[in-house]
């Protein structure tokens, strides 16, 4: 089992590192967005190695940073997209051979509207497909901050991420749109929309990001921006029972009981964890 964690930590620096210590004891791969923590601090305090880029030009201030407790001989940087906001890695596994791991920090709604996000999503999905062609397989997982809800056009349109809420639809393979076939992603994060557990009716977190400071009449307040999506060819390596959005970390409550975020807390996003049924 390989344990993953993603967290957009909202520009926090080295002072944030001790906060993570007891929270990530069982994490193997850590992806951080908007992090100002020094790589040396991550290594010294948390025991993760930064997976190195091929060149210094492969990242910018928006690039998500990937750290690993897995030997670097098993996980390597492959390429960065032109925006540097999506970064591709290859992970060598015993069960599936090479798997493509993509870490994403998609442009924010605070800067770009829905139409622009859709346009950009088309590019990001194209970059994913290009890497799959280059690597000659589609054993791909994308995780990180998508800055879009599961139902938005950039997530569901065929030329964009084409991420369906249905396991069975995803397994069907492709979707035809204007004479082209587009392979599905499966997006299990649809299950995080809403504040009630389906089977028990008990209260749960309604999303990963709470936002109310807007006059937009389509505002839904809680959003599921932080996600993991997976291609059908490896759809069963994701342990769906382990997908979790965390409302607290040791010694720190991240949100109030009424699900509003705490002013000036650690971050405006909640951390996401999940496991892959793979070994290296």
SS (H, E, C) the chain: CEEEEEEECCCCCHHHHHHHHHHHCCCCEEEEECCCCCHHHHHHHHCCEECCCCCHHHCCCCCCEEEECCCCCCEEEEEECCCCCEEEEEEEECCCEEEEEEEEECCCCCCCCHHHHHHHHHHHHHHHHHHHHHHCCCCEEEEEECCCCCCCHHHHCCCCCCEECCHHHHHCCEEEECCEEEECEECHHHHHCCCECCCCCCECCCCCEECCCCCCCCCCCEECCEEEEECHHHHHHEEEEEEEECCEECCEECECCCCCECCCCCCCECCEEEEECCCC
pLDDT at 209: 83
Assigned token pair, 157: 């349109």
* Domain spanning 2-276: CATH 3.60.10.10: yes
Rounded to whole angstroms, how far apart are CA atoms 31 and 7?
7
Task: Please say whether the beta carbons of 231 and 98 come within 8 A.
Answer: no
What residue segments make up the domains of the chain, in order of their start?
Answer: 2-276
pLDDT at 233: 95
pTM: 0.92
Q: What is the pLDDT along the chain (280 residues), one digit of tens a residue?
A: 999 999 998 888 887 787 777 678 899 999 999 999 999 999 998 999 999 998 878 889 999 999 999 999 999 999 999 999 999 999 999 999 999 999 999 998 878 777 899 999 999 999 999 999 999 999 999 999 999 999 999 999 999 999 999 999 999 988 888 888 899 999 999 999 988 877 787 877 788 887 766 667 777 778 999 999 999 999 999 999 999 988 755 444 455 545 454 454 445 788 899 999 999 9
pLDDT at 22: 67
pLDDT at 17: 81
Rounded to whole angstroms, how far apart are CA atoms 16 and 24?
13
């Amino acid at each position: 089992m390989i344990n993953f964690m993603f967290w957009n930590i909202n520009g926090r620096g080295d002072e944030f590192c001790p906060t993570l210590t007891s929270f990530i004891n069982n994490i193997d791969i850590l992806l951080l967005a908007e992090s100002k923590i020094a790589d040396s601090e991550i290594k010294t305090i948390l025991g993760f190695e930064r997976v190195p880029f091929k060149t210094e030009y492969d990242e910018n201030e928006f690039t998500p940073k990937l750290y690993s407790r897995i030997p670097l001989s098993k996980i390597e940087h492959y390429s960065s997209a032109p925006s540097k906001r999506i970064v591709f890695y290859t992970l060598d596994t015993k069960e599936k051979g090479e798997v493509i791991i993509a870490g994403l920090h998609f442009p924010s709604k605070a800067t770009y509207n829905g139409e622009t996000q859709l346009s950009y999503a088309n590019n990001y999905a194209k970059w994913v497909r290009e890497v799959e062609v280059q690597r000659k397989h589609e054993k791909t997982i994308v995780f990180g901050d998508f800055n879009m809800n599961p139902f938005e056009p950039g997530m569901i349109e065929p030329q964009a991420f084409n991420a369906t809420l249905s396991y069975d639809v995803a397994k069907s393979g492709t979707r035809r749109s204007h004479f082209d076939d587009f392979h599905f992603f499966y997006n299990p994060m649809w299950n995080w929309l809403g504040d009630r557990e389906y089977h028990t009716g008990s209260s749960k977190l309604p999303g990963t990001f709470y936002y109310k400071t807007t006059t937009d009449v389509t505002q839904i307040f809680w959003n599921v921006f932080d996600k993991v999506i997976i291609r059908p060819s490896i759809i069963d390596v994701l342990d769906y029972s382990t997908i979790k959005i965390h409302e607290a970390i040791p010694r720190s409550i991240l949100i109030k009981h009424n699900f509003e975020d705490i002013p000036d807390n650690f971050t405006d996003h909640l951390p996401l964890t999940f496991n892959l049924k793979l070994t290296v």
